[in-house]
Structure 1
Amino acid sequence: MQKSNKILIAYFSYSGNTGIVAQEIKKVIGGDVFKIETVEEYPQNYNRVVDIARQEQKADARPALKTSIVDMDSYNVIILGYPNWCGTIPMAVFTFLERYNFKDKIILPYCTHGGSRMGRSETDIVKAARGADVKRGLDIYGSDVKNSKTAISGWLKREGIIQQV
């Protein structure tokens, strides 16, 4: 990675796991962190969240977001984190991706999950972030999040974001 690259770590997190990974990535490579948050908060009850996620996906919903990035054009590397919801990115992440121009930007996706790994999320990111160079993602099982430093560093090295040691 060239030193002139400016990195944004954007993530959506329901349980906190995806946010823990975002902070670990920041420790490793620096960059700015942006939490993707919906205007309407999701309930605490996990089963209810799953129901809402399915409803949003079926309706192809685009939940409204609380905030936005002021100068997305200044970033050329976006580390994009999210939990795998129903086999892909949460609909709020679609809202985020469709809000900006990702042409000629690098996107490195990572997801936290309960067993479904990346699902079809990488393909959906390619479709939603037209013109972006979407790299191979990293999936982290939810209970492994706190011990994922080695996996994160290896992924960032493999994708050329940090140099080999």
Structure 2
Amino acid sequence: MFLYECLILQSSKCGILLGQQRYLILIKREREIYKMKTLIAYFSWSGNTEKIARNIAAKTGGDLFRIERQIPYSKNYNECAYHEAKDEIDGKIRPEIKRPLPNICNYDSIILAFPIWCYTSPMAVWSFLEAYPDWKGKTIYIFPNSYTDDSQYFTTSMEDAKNSARNADIQPGLFNKEIKKLDAWLTEKGF
């Protein structure tokens, strides 16, 4: 967008560099003018990711959407993690999701939160992303969380999202303990 790309204004006498605070005001104003909306889509098995997603939605005013598998995963962790989820990932199986989002056109920014399962995102997240043939004009921020702080999981999640969300602008969000930096990150991104 025009305002995002214009950090430097040219006048007849000199260039004026906008300060960070003024730049953020311009981003927020642009969002209001163009009625840009944010979607917080999340997959949560235990409820941890849901807490993060609800926190983001409360701070941004964005719409919340829960990604759910048509046939729910077992409530037993071992059955879910070591059998159902692992079998899907190993077989690259895209499970049917309970309900796709009716209209992705209403959103320009998507914050996608999910746990890391077997070194990647749950396959239901892939099903969600692949349900839409074209994500052109959409920015997707990745928010994976895991019991470990291994940044390789974050990198893998970014690559998986790029492969699943055709033409989307995939951007890093925050990973695990970085969630403490959420307010600063949201402000930096103009939410």
2:160 matches 1:124:
yes
Supply the AA of the counterpart residue of 1:72: I
Q: 2: CA distance between counterparts of 1:45 and 1:151?
A: 32
- Identical positions, percent: 37
Please tell me the residue identity of whatever aligns with 1:155.
W
| Paired position in structure 2 for 1:157 | 187
State whether structure 2 residue 136 is matched by structure 1 residue 103. yes
The residue aligned with 2:115 is: 83
Residue identity in the other structure for 1:108: Y
State how far apart, in whole Å, the 2-side matches of 1:80 and 1:8 are: 8
Correspondence list, 1:34-73, <5 A: 34-51=65-82, 52-73=84-105
Assess if the C-alpha contact under 8 Å between 1:38 and 1:92 holds in 2: yes
C-alpha displacement of 1:130: 1.6
Which of the pair has more CA radius of gyration? 2
The 3-state SS of whatever aligns with 1:66 is coil
The 1:161–1:48 alpha-carbon spacing in structure 2 relative to 1, beyond 3 Å, is farther
1:21/1:13 CA distance change after superposition, 3 Å: same
- TM-score (norm: length of structure 2): 0.76
Which structure has greater helix proportion? 2
**Residue 119 of structure 1: CA displacement?**
4.9
Could you tell me how far apart the structure 2 residues matched to 1:85 and 1:28 are? 27
1:111 deviation in Å?
Answer: 1.5
- Aligned amino acid, residue 141 of structure 2: L
CA distance in 1, matches of 2:145, 2:105: 27
Distance 1:55 1:161 in 2: 39
TM-score, normalised via structure 1 length: 0.87
User: Which residue of structure 2 lines up, in the alignment, with residue 137 of structure 1?
Assistant: 173
- In structure 2, give the amino acid aligned to 1:67: R
**Residues 9-29 of structure 1, C-alpha deviations (whole Å, 9 max, x = no match):** 100000001110111001111
Of 48-57 and 90-99, deviating more is 48-57
Q: Is the 8 A contact 1:81 1:109 kept in 2?
A: yes
| CA-to-aligned-CA distance 1:19-65 (integer Å, 9 cap, x gap) | 10111001111111000001111112212111222110111101111
Secondary structure in structure 2 of the residue aligned to 1:82: strand
How many pairs does the alignment contain?
A: 155
Q: CA RMSD in A?
A: 1.6
Of structures 1 and 2, the one with the larger relative CO (CA 8 A, separation 6+) is: 1
Q: Aligned partners of 1:92, 1:161: CA distance in 2, in Å?
A: 29
Q: CA deviation at 1:161?
A: 3.2
